[in-house]
Chain A
């Protein structure tokens, strides 16, 4: 099994440790990992803001870069960026049949991390030797939840992590308020949405917030830190990666 790693730009730039954990996890499972170095961003910021031409141009770059490699799957530690490729590249290229075909072919090979781990390689947290001391809630990013339908996979993985207690929190289906450029275009409403999540988090008694999307985590962590919370905020890959020391 050979996978091409697709590291979202904000993971590359801001939380590279998430990418490192993904590499370690995959290698531990005997998966060969390549990293196409020409990759940049999936184009979602432009797309979400309505700049479809610009997004299309970035999408073409993505397709060029990844089509130049040999792999079984593209693995991405973000439901949002995976959805951009699998669902919204075909949407963007709808009226260009040849390119749409390329996008659909690529989209069929892109897997969000938990999807890949559970549904492709059949991994579980025990195999990985994952340990984490803490009481955690899991936030499913909206693309992962609705477009990809990945509700069970991350939970299944986390439930096998030794020492980790996964607790439920109210209204867990609600968006964290990030929404890409929404967070800066509608900062006050976006922040109010984050506050609602944080209130639910407080009520759950969790000391740790885990998600499969670093973008949601960046938003919630940014608000948690501003409001004086010391909640630990981790990507799923970090919790599953024993060498990350349980993310501490």
Chain B
């Protein structure tokens, strides 16, 4: 078994004694293009986000109000014949319970690991918020935290996220800079469209292990 100090000392020795300086060979294919990088101003981040998500076979919906968002989720659950929906324990989602219950959909809000384990695997729909979204790639930025089970976004075949339009960032670097230099939650996930696989003869399979039916409701 390797000893930490020894391991590091041996690496230090190698990096300090090497006299070789890597050469960065010139390149043809990656030479800077003539036009300078466009400053990618995304005029309507919500529209771009939805456009990108749909291109990945996800579904985006712009809701004018919280009511409209709730209607979307209820009708989605109905259309999927859902009996059980599991959601994050998040204030923003509390208002969804009553209309869902009215529509005959049971809502589970796990508050301990056992509770989550029990429902996440058999729920028909998972519902969460998202900390951010990224317009240029159609990604959700999901953070772990109290009452925010990762499995909620992973195990049910249908997954829907609700977030406010002002949480939509332009680019991947913008999203990454939210965590740079600071404290990162135990889990962050850039979730970009439905789960997919192309392993068998490059034929697209949607919903391989994660949800294949992904919806994002942008409010406002």
Tell whether A pairs with B: yes
Q: Does B1 contact A (CB under 8 A)?
A: no
Nearest CB of A to B60, in Å: 37
A120-178 residues at the B interface, CB under 8 angstroms: 145-147, 149
Produce 1/0 per residue, B27-40, CB < 8 A to A.
01101000000000
Which B residues touch A146, using CB under 8 A?
28-29
Q: Complex Cα distance A149/B29, Å?
A: 9
Which A residues contact B (CB, under 8 angstroms)? Answer: 145-147, 149
A146 to B29 CA separation, bound complex (whole angstroms): 8
Q: CA A108 – CA B29 in complex, angstroms?
A: 21
With a cutoff of 8 Å between Cβ atoms, the chain A residues found around residue B31 in the complex are: 149
Nearest-Cβ distance from residue B19 to partner chain A, whole angstroms: 10
* Residues of the B chain whose Cβ atoms lie less than 8 Å from the Cβ of A145: 28
| Residues of chain B lying within 8 A (CB to CB) of residue A147 | 28
Q: Which residues of B contact A149 (CB under 8 A)?
A: 28, 31
A residues in contact with B29, CB < 8 Å:
146
How far is A100 from B31 in the complex, measured between Cα atoms in Å? Answer: 25
Sample of 6 A–B contacts (CB below 8 Å): A145-B28, A146-B28, A146-B29, A147-B28, A149-B28, A149-B31
| Nearest CB of B to A79, in Å | 12
**Residues of chain A contacted by B28 (CB below 8 angstroms):** 145-147, 149
Q: How far is the CA of A150 from the CA of B186 in the complex (A)?
A: 50
Bound CA–CA A146/B31 (angstroms): 11
> Chain B, 20-52, contact with A by CB distance < 8 Å: what is the 0/1 string?
000000001101000000000000000000000
B48 to chain A, nearest CB (A): 33
Minimum distance in angstroms from A173 CB to a CB of chain B: 10
In whole angstroms, what is the CA distance A149 to B31 when docked? Answer: 10
- Alpha-carbon separation in the docked complex, A149 to B28 (Å): 6
CB distance from B157 to the nearest CB of A (A): 41
Which residue of chain B lies nearest to A149 when distances are taken between CB atoms in the complex?
B28
**A145 CA to B28 CA, complexed, in Å:** 8
**Chain A: which residue is nearest B29 at the CB level?**
A146
Measured CA separation A116–B91 after assembly (Å): 71
Least distance between B22 CB and chain A CB atoms (Å): 12
Q: In the complex the two chains form, what is the Cα distance from A149 to B27 in whole Å?
A: 8
A145 to B29, CA, bound (A): 10
- Alpha-carbon gap, A152 to B217, bound state (A): 49
Q: How far is the CB of A169 from chain B (nearest CB, A)?
A: 19
Closest to B31 in A: A149
How far is the CB of B33 from the nearest CB of chain A, in Å?
Answer: 14
Shortest Cβ-Cβ A-B pairs, 6 listed: A149-B28, A146-B28, A145-B28, A146-B29, A147-B28, A149-B31
A212 nearest CB across to chain B (Å): 16
A147 to B26: give the CA distance in the assembly, Å: 8
